[in-house]
Amino acid sequence: MIIETLINADIKKQMNADLNIQINPIRRVNWASIETLDSGLGSTRLTTSRRNDPSATLGASKRESENSVLKQKRNMTYPSHKTYTTYLFKTGLIGLISLMGFIGLIPSAQAAEPRVYLERVGQFGIRLLIDAPSEVNAYDMVLSYDKKIVEVDLVDASHSIINVLPKPIRADNGKIVVRGGSTQPFSGVGGELLTIQLRPVGLGVFDFSVEKASLYLADGRGTLASVASDSLPLTVTAGSLASYPASLATRKIDKDPPKITAVNIEINPLGAGEKLVVFAAEDSGSGVAQYQARERTWFIWSNWREALNPYRLEPGVWAVQIKAIDNYGNSALATAYQLGNAAPKVVLIFIILFLFILGVRRFIKKPAVNQ
């Protein structure tokens, strides 16, 4: 029993010693600081001090492995100062070229926007023009001026790309409203919208400006385009005011009537069975100032009234007449017919005439009564 106890105590002592050998090196060595050791130094010391210790040999092998990794890191090839400078130069050069390319695109992007601008024609003439890189076909603009200094003498749309006008273009209270469309979409430079002739009535300096400019792309969706607008400074002096009547005397007088190019009756796509008259006219002398229309439901024409394009027809109308009037009062007429509405009326007229003639003949042939 005593021997067994001593053997057990000796075994426990040996186990404690072995356990201490395995634990203590881990407690004494800071593996995080291994990177500060010289090549093989720590490993040599550890192996020398515990040459016959298996645990120490294991720790030394681990340190040799990590030192080997450190050697590989030290032997890795990094770019030299010259190589790194070349890399920075190339990178900076590429970045500079990219930046210059981006800056170079900015003017092109700005030039890609439609532009509405003004051009002076003579002393008191102004031409409204448009540059459109993409096709446009609808226009909504407001021009403004100082009505105390000038009045609008003439609005000439004879050379305008706008050939569909819901309302005549008129000047009112210092504003000119231009709303219309083009049956042929426009793209390009220098498209003429209007030519305006001003008449000075006072002295001073003012800006004739494009107060509002909305253009719509001919893309099937009517996309509103961003537009750059313009203004034109004008000055009316005493000399220019006195010379204006003389300039009127030299201005060409338009004596030719407009030319009506189309008068068509179409079905309104937004109205159930409603009919519209779509028309167009041109005048190379002074431009079309307004349109008028009258209708015939039975035998007599209605009175003339101002017509917007398109013009809505009343039910039962079988004939409609359009009048185009230019800025000098010259006019032209064109007539369109709805034969479908005319046929019943013609038949009815023939029936009435037949009955009338029949009645007259019977009255004439009626024998006289003998007294």
Give the whole-angstrom CA distance, residue 362 versus residue 25: 148
Q: What is the pLDDT of residue 59?
A: 53
Question: What was the pLDDT predicted at 46?
Answer: 35
Query: From CA 153, how far away is CA 176, in angstroms rounded?
Result: 12
pTM over 0.75: no
Distances (CA, A) of 241 to 155, 206, 209, 235, 251: 20, 15, 21, 10, 16
- What is residue 74's predicted lDDT score, i.e. its pLDDT? 53
309 and 334 in a single domain? The answer is: yes
- Shared domain for 201 and 224, answered yes or no, is yes
Does some domain include residue 299?
Answer: yes
The answer on 263 and 245 residing in a single domain is no
The token pair that represents 209 in the structure block: 């400006």
**Residues 43 and 137 both lie in one domain:** no
Q: Which of 215, 249, 283 is the last residue of a domain?
A: 249
In whole angstroms, what is the distance from residue 289 CA to residue 329 CA? 8
What CATH number does the domain containing 324 carry?
A: 2.60.40.10
d(CA 65, CA 42): 12
CB 148 within 8 A of CB 201: yes
Co-location of 316 and 193 in the same domain: no
Are 221 and 127 contained in the same domain?
yes
Output the 3-class SS for the chain. CHHHHHHHHHHHHHHHHHHHHHHHHHHHCCHHHHHHCCCCHHHHHHHHHCCCCHHHHHHHHHHHHHHHHHHHHHHCCCCCHHHHHHHHHHHHHHHHHHHHHHHHHHHHHHHCCCEEEEEEECCCEEEEEEEEEEEEEEEEEEEECCCCCEEEEEEECCCCCCCECCCCCCEECCEEEEEEEEEEEEEEEEEEEEEEEEEECCCEEEEEEEEEEEEEECCCCCCEECCECCEEEEEECHHHHHHHHHHHHCCCCCCCCCEEEEEEEEECCCCCCCEEEEEEEECCCCCEEEEEEEEECCCCECCCEECCCCEECCCCCCEEEEEEEECCCCEEEEEEECHHHHHHHHHHHHHHHHHHHHHHHHHHHCCCCCC
Q: From 207, 228, 249, give the residue that closes a domain.
A: 249
Closest CA to 150 of 199, 209, 210, 207: 199
Identify whether residues 164 and 289 lie together within a single domain. no
Measured distance CA(59)–CA(25) in Å, rounded: 8
Q: Are residues 146 and 49 in the same domain?
A: no
Whether 354 is in a domain gets the answer no
Name the nearest CA neighbour of 216 among 177, 166, 179, 188: 179
Calculate the dihedral angle through the C-alpha atoms of 354, 359, 363, 366, rounding to the nearest 10 degrees: 90
Per-residue pLDDT tens over the stretch 162-190: 877 777 788 889 999 999 888 889 999 99
pLDDT of amino acid 254? 83
Tell me, yes or no, whether 128 lies in a domain: yes
State whether 184 and 206 are in the same domain. Answer: yes
Does residue 97 lie within any of the structural domains?
no
358 located within any domain: no
Q: Is residue 229 part of a domain?
A: yes
How far is the C-alpha of 290 from the C-alpha of 304, rounded, in Å? 12
Instruction: For residues 287 and 222, state if they share a domain.
Output: no
What pLDDT does residue 249 have?
54
Residue type, 99: L
Give every residue of the chain whose pLDDT is below 50, as ranges: 1-58, 78, 84, 88-89, 93, 96-111, 371
* 89, part of any domain: no
Domain of 235, CATH number, reads 2.60.40.680
Which residue segment(s) compose the domain that 123 sits in?
115-249
Q: Out of 195, 217, 249, pick the residue that ends a domain.
A: 249
Task: Give 239: exposed, middle or buried? Use CB within 10 Å, 0-12, 13-18, 19+.
Answer: exposed
105 phi, psi to nearest 5 deg: -80, -20
Does one domain contain both 289 and 338?
Answer: yes
Residues 6+ apart with CB under 8 A from 197: 124, 125, 152, 153, 154, 155, 156
Specify whether the CB–CB gap between 157 and 281 falls below 8 A: no
Are 179 and 65 members of one domain?
no
Whether 162 is covered by a domain: the verdict is yes
Number of domains in the chain: 3
Q: 337 pairs with which residues across the strands?
A: 319
- pLDDT for 19 equals 40
